[in-house]
Amino acid sequence: MAKPSSFVFLFLLHCLMLSLAWTNANITIDKYALLALKSSITSDPYNFLANWSVSSPCNWIGVTYNTTHHGRIHSLNLVGMNLKGTISPQLGNLSFLVELDLSNKNLNGQIPVELVRLHQLRLFILSYNDFHGQVRTWIGDLYMLEHLGFQNHSFYGFIPLSLSNLSRLETLDWTFNFIQGTIPLEVGKLNCLKILQLVGEQTFRNHSPNNL
């Protein structure tokens, strides 16, 4: 078999270098998104995020890197780390994030609307924190969602009709919030739904923002 010409070799080398540069640029986007999240954390008593610094995000605690997803971050799992603070809007730049689990005790504030850009998200769990605000209607735009857990918060309002867009949803848990009204018929269109939990002493009471 004839050896490839120098032109072909240089062309392939150029393509490889472009690919590496593109991958590095993408991982840099993810890196700064995670560093923005770290900066919004006001307390990390066990120093879980200590190595979130100059090293590659692939080696950071709670971060999983997937080479098959364009060299991007696949999952972020900070469960039980006792972190205090808020969610940075820049987290919405993790374009290839598939799993986001921030179940904790002390995160607070509102869920940034920028998270609507996480179109690859399949698992979205924020349980056992202290988030508040109106139930986000844009949740229905996260079409790939399979598991959605917002237990034990202070969300108020009605279950958004946009939930009917989540055709893959298997788990929906909004236990212990201030949900008003009735379960919309659109929820019955979720053919993959296996677990639906909306119970609790606060659920479906006639609350309004002025009562919270």
- The CATH number of the domain holding residue 36 is 3.80.10.10
How far is the CA of 37 from the CAs of 42, 83, 118, 154, in angstroms? Answer: 10, 11, 15, 22
pLDDT at position 209 is: 39
SS3 71: coil
Domain annotation covers residue 184: yes
Average pLDDT of span 4-27: 47
The rounded percent of the chain whose pLDDT value lies above 70 is: 80
3 — pLDDT class (breaks 50, 70, 90): low
Dump pLDDT digits (tens) for 69-123.
567 899 999 998 999 999 999 999 999 999 999 998 789 999 999 999 999 999 9
- Please give the residue range of the domain that contains residue 49: 6-211
Domain annotation covers residue 47: yes
Would you say 163 and 187 are in contact if contact means Cβ atoms under 8 Å apart?
yes
pLDDT at position 18 is: 36
Average pLDDT of span 178-190: 88
Average pLDDT of span 143-149: 96
Domain annotation covers residue 173: yes
SS3 11: helix
Domain annotation covers residue 45: yes
Domain annotation covers residue 1: no
Would you say 134 and 158 are in contact if contact means Cβ atoms under 8 Å apart?
no
Domain annotation covers residue 187: yes
Those residues whose C-beta lies under 8 Å from the C-beta of residue 188, and which sit 6 or more positions away, are none
Dump pLDDT digits (tens) for 165-174.
999 999 999 9
Residue 63: φ, ψ to 5°? -110, 130
Domain annotation covers residue 157: yes
- Its pTM stands at 0.82
The single-letter DSSP state of residue 176 is S
Would you say 86 and 108 are in contact if contact means Cβ atoms under 8 Å apart?
yes
Dump pLDDT digits (tens) for 186-196.
888 899 999 99
**Is the pLDDT confidence value at 207 over 90?**
no
Instruction: Specify the number of domains making up the chain.
Output: 1
Domain annotation covers residue 200: yes
Q: Mean pLDDT for the chain?
A: 83
SS3 65: strand
